[in-house]
């Protein structure tokens, strides 16, 4: 398999750095979203605030505040989903000019010479990242809408309201909101790693360096930023 990749303009170094990139991305996703360290992340802290928000929403007779919050969240998700489609279109268009771009890249300083096939693979690599991001944003958009419907179906506060049914709606709405938030986060995370992927056009060493920088930025923002400390102070 590696020999075939070399024939198409990808060296052994390229194979290794792409493997490193994917290992870092998958490993970070596991640590941030599924390991025991997840409880120290900003995503976990926000899940707790979602529960508080929707608990309060279930007790409000007029849910104008809650619908405004949902509208803001959905607007942000739809913006990135639309932007991702535009980026994908640009990358697909670039594939048609891969031969000309390969010549242009060969004259740029600091950039390793790359064949047309190698450049095509790099564009396809980025396209794959943004396709993944689009699916995450699309699912975040759908689950946010599901959450809005559940909130809209919450009955007004009443003395005879079934406590178990109320709590069940809160749990479901919180779960849907959390799912939307996590899908949105993974879409944004794909954008960060796509920035690292751009460094592959310069060369394998730059690709590794950019991947490490992106990883460090994500770790700080997820586990050690001022926002995390402030959210933990609300618990």
> Stretch 144-158: mean pLDDT, rounded?
82
Q: What is the value of pTM for the model shown?
A: 0.89
Tokens found for residue 33: 């979203």
Question: What backbone torsions phi and psi does residue 8 show, to the nearest 5 degrees?
Answer: -85, 20
* Residue 9 pLDDT grade (very low, low, confident, very high; cuts 50, 70, 90): low
Is the pLDDT score of 7 beyond 70? Answer: no
Q: Which residues contact 227 (CB under 8 A, 6 or more apart)?
A: 42, 221
* Residue 4 pLDDT grade (very low, low, confident, very high; cuts 50, 70, 90): very low
Is the pLDDT score of 3 beyond 80? Answer: no
> Stretch 28-38: mean pLDDT, rounded?
94
Q: What is the pLDDT of residue 5?
A: 47
Q: What is the pLDDT of residue 161?
A: 62
Q: Which residues contact 18 (CB under 8 A, 6 or more apart)?
A: 125, 200, 207
43-92 pLDDT, tens digit per residue, is: 999 999 999 999 988 888 778 888 888 899 999 999 999 999 999 999 99
How many whole angstroms separate alpha carbon 233 and alpha carbon 235? 6
Could you tell me the sign of the dihedral formed by the alpha carbons of 57, 63, 64, 66, in that order?
A: positive
Q: Which residues contact 87 (CB under 8 A, 6 or more apart)?
A: 130
């Amino acid at each position: 398999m590696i020999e075939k990749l070399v024939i198409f303009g990808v060296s052994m170094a390229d194979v290794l750095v792409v493997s490193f990139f994917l290992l870092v991305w998958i490993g970070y996703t596991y640590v941030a979203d599924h390991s025991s360290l997840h409880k120290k992340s900003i995503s976990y802290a926000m899940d707790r605030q979602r529960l508080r928000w929707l608990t309060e929403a279930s007790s409000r007779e007029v849910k104008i505040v809650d619908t405004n919050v949902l509208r803001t969240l959905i607007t942000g998700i739809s913006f990135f989903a639309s932007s991702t489609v535009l980026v994908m279109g640009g990358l697909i268009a670039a594939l048609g000019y891969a031969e000309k771009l390969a010549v242009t890249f060969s004259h740029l300083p600091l950039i390793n010479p790359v064949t047309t096939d190698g450049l095509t693979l790099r564009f396809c690599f980025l396209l794959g990242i943004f396709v993944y991001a689009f699916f995450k944003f699309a699912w975040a958009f759908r689950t946010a809408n599901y959450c809005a419907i559940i909130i809209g179906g919450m009955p007004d506060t009443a003395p005879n309201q079934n406590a178990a049914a109320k709590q069940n709606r809160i749990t479901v709405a919180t779960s849907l909101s959390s799912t939307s938030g996590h899908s949105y986060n993974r879409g944004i995370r794909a954008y960060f790693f796509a920035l690292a992927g751009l460094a592959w056009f310069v060369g394998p060493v730059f690709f590794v360096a950019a991947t490490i920088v992106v990883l460090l930025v994500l770790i700080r923002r997820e586990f050690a930023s001022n926002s995390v400390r402030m959210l933990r102070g609300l618990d």
